[in-house]
């Protein structure tokens, strides 16, 4: 609330000084953004943002006089077309000047082709000061409303239209592509996207001696990879020309690890058409995208949402000391059911879940390493009295790859010893806490 009062107070102050309310609110936002509490302020003020957004659109509707604007409807449509075209071209050129791909520039232009909120502030000030006549102001309001209404349609249809243009363009250029101009690799791995997943994969492929080629459209990532001597092509993996240059017809595996879902789907579809034998692995964000990617030709789809959920329940089961083979079996059951558990389908592994419950009730075997700074080093098992204090039994001790079975109470522990412990789950948790104290 205090942050909101700061913005409103500065807006009132600038208005009192003869400046605009918007300027004061803008200055208030800058002041708050530079403070150490800016992130929490943004989180707290989000509900107010939704309320003010609603009021903004309500006020636009109240300013629109349909009866007055209807005779000028053709002028309004012409203005709308001009606004969309001009703003689209400005954004397109600006984004391209920043060295982003044409596809990204196209999508950004479609998303920003409407009239912005600040334009209403300027138009209102112009009308109040007599710079805009009432009729012209109504044309502006009507045009703004139509551009805002058209924005969702542009965002939805713009990328599809762009895809059709690129497809036709690439078909016309197909006869001019030099088959020998691309990379001369064969049986290699194409990695689309050089983010964290791509970098980890490159590290493993490099150590194992498997040839690879990277496709990246982020200029900064491309520059860093190029300076590091990586085999990389600057280009969009959803372009058939780029995939051909990367040797997709000769490659063995394609790994799609890009964040744009539409581009990932297009890359899978094009790669499958160009090379029916290729093995395609796709990294996606959500499990809801799995079926569509499979239908387009992907062989393996790895959703981060799903893999994260698996890792979470694996860590939970490990906390309860379940045997690793039981955890692995449960993971295999979930994956074999094609993510059915996370879609609400009933699992067919009821007997396995009953076994897990039995394992939770039964005893487990764990190991504990005596670290160099451990307080139990140089103590005997009798002095430790692990069974009496926790209920866990030491059945053997491993020292320098030599096993001492059933050690007695006078057995003295040394640094780097490995204790083999047996007990139930609650006792085991208590023992680990006692030994690590």
CATH of the domain at 421: 3.30.70.1450
Residue 55 clears pLDDT 60, i.e. is over it: yes
CB 189 within 8 A of CB 211: yes
pLDDT at 171: 47
202 and 282 part of one domain: yes
Angstrom distance (rounded) from CA 91 to CA 97: 10
Residues 6+ apart with CB under 8 A from 388: none
pLDDT 10s digits, 125-158: 788 777 888 888 888 888 888 888 888 888 877 7
Please report the DSSP string for 187-217 in residue order. S-EEEE--SHHHHHHHHHHHHHT--EEEEE-
Is residue 253 situated within a structural domain? yes
286 and 350 part of one domain: no
pLDDT 10s digits, 30-46: 777 777 666 666 767 77
Confidence of residue 13 (pLDDT cuts 50, 70, 90): confident
* Number of domains composing the chain: 4
CB 238 within 8 A of CB 266: yes
Angstrom distance (rounded) from CA 134 to CA 140: 10
105 and 69 part of one domain: yes
71 and 101 part of one domain: yes
Is residue 27 situated within a structural domain? no
pLDDT 10s digits, 186-211: 789 999 999 888 999 999 998 888 99
pLDDT at 123: 80
Structural domain boundaries enclosing 333: 320-361
Angstrom distance (rounded) from CA 43 to CA 27: 19
Taking every pair of Cα atoms in the chain, the longest distance, rounded to a whole number of angstroms, is 103
Is residue 264 situated within a structural domain? yes
Is residue 393 situated within a structural domain? yes
Is residue 3 situated within a structural domain? no
Domain boundary among 122, 145, 171: 171
Angstrom distance (rounded) from CA 370 to CA 377: 7
354 and 283 part of one domain: no
Q: What are phi and psi of 52, to 5 degrees?
A: -70, -35
CB 213 within 8 A of CB 190: yes
416 and 354 part of one domain: no
Is residue 29 situated within a structural domain? no
The residue ranges of DSSP E strands in 170-317, in sequence order, are 189-192, 212-216, 232-234, 253-256, 279-284, 300-303
Angstrom distance (rounded) from CA 88 to CA 158: 11
227 and 119 part of one domain: no
pLDDT 10s digits, 205-221: 988 889 999 998 888 88
Confidence of residue 62 (pLDDT cuts 50, 70, 90): confident
Is residue 410 situated within a structural domain? yes
CATH number of the CATH domain containing 284? 3.40.50.720
Element holding 395 (H helix, E strand): strand 393-399
Domain boundary among 305, 331, 346: 305
264 and 198 part of one domain: yes
């Amino acid at each position: 609330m205090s942050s909101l009062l700061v913005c409103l107070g500065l807006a009132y102050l600038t208005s009192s000084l003869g400046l605009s309310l918007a300027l004061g609110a803008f200055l208030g936002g800058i002041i708050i953004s530079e403070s150490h509490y800016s992130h929490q302020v943004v989180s707290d003020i989000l509900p107010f943002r939704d309320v003010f957004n609603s009021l903004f659109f309500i006020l636009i509707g109240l300013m629109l006089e349909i009866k007055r604007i209807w005779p000028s409807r053709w002028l309004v449509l012409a203005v709308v077309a001009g606004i969309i075209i001009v703003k689209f071209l400005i954004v397109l050129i600006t984004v391209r000047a920043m060295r982003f791909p044409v596809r990204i520039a196209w999508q950004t232009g479609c998303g920003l082709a409407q009239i912005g909120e600040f334009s209403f502030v300027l138009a209102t000030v112009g009308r109040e000061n007599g710079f805009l006549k009432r009729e012209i102001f109504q044309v502006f309001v009507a045009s703004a409303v139509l551009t805002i209404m058209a924005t969702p349609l542009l965002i939805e249809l713009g990328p599809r239209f762009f895809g059709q243009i690129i497809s036709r363009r690439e078909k016309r250029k197909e006869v001019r592509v030099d088959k020998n101009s691309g990379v001369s690799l064969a049986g290699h791995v194409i990695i689309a996207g050089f983010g964290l997943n791509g970098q980890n994969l490159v590290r493993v492929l490099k150590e194992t001696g498997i040839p690879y080629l990277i496709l990246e459209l982020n200029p900064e990532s491309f520059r860093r990879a190029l300076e590091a001597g990586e085999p990389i092509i600057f280009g969009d993996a959803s372009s058939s020309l780029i995939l051909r240059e990367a040797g997709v017809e000769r490659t063995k595996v394609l790994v799609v690890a890009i964040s744009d879902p539409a581009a990932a789907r297009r890359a899978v579809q094009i790669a499958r058409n160009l090379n029916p034998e290729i093995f395609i692995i796709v990294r996606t964000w959500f499990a809801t995208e799995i079926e569509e990617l499979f239908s387009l030709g992907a062989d393996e789809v790895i959703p981060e949402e799903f893999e994260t959920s698996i890792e979470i329940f694996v860590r939970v089961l490990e906390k309860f000391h379940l045997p690793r083979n039981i955890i692995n079996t449960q993971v295999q059951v979930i994956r074999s059911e094609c993510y059915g558990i996370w879609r609400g389908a009933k699992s067919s592994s009821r007997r396995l879940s009953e076994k897990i419950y039995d394992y939770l009730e039964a005893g487990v075997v764990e190991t504990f390493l005596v670290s160099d700074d451990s307080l139990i080093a140089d103590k005997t098992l009798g002095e430790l009295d692990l069974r009496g204090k926790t209920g866990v039994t030491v059945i053997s001790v491993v020292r320098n790859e030599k096993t001492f079975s059933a050690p007695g109470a006078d057995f003295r522990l040394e640094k780097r010893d490995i204790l083999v412990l047996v007990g139930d789950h609650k006792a085991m948790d208590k023992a680990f806490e006692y030994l690590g104290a």
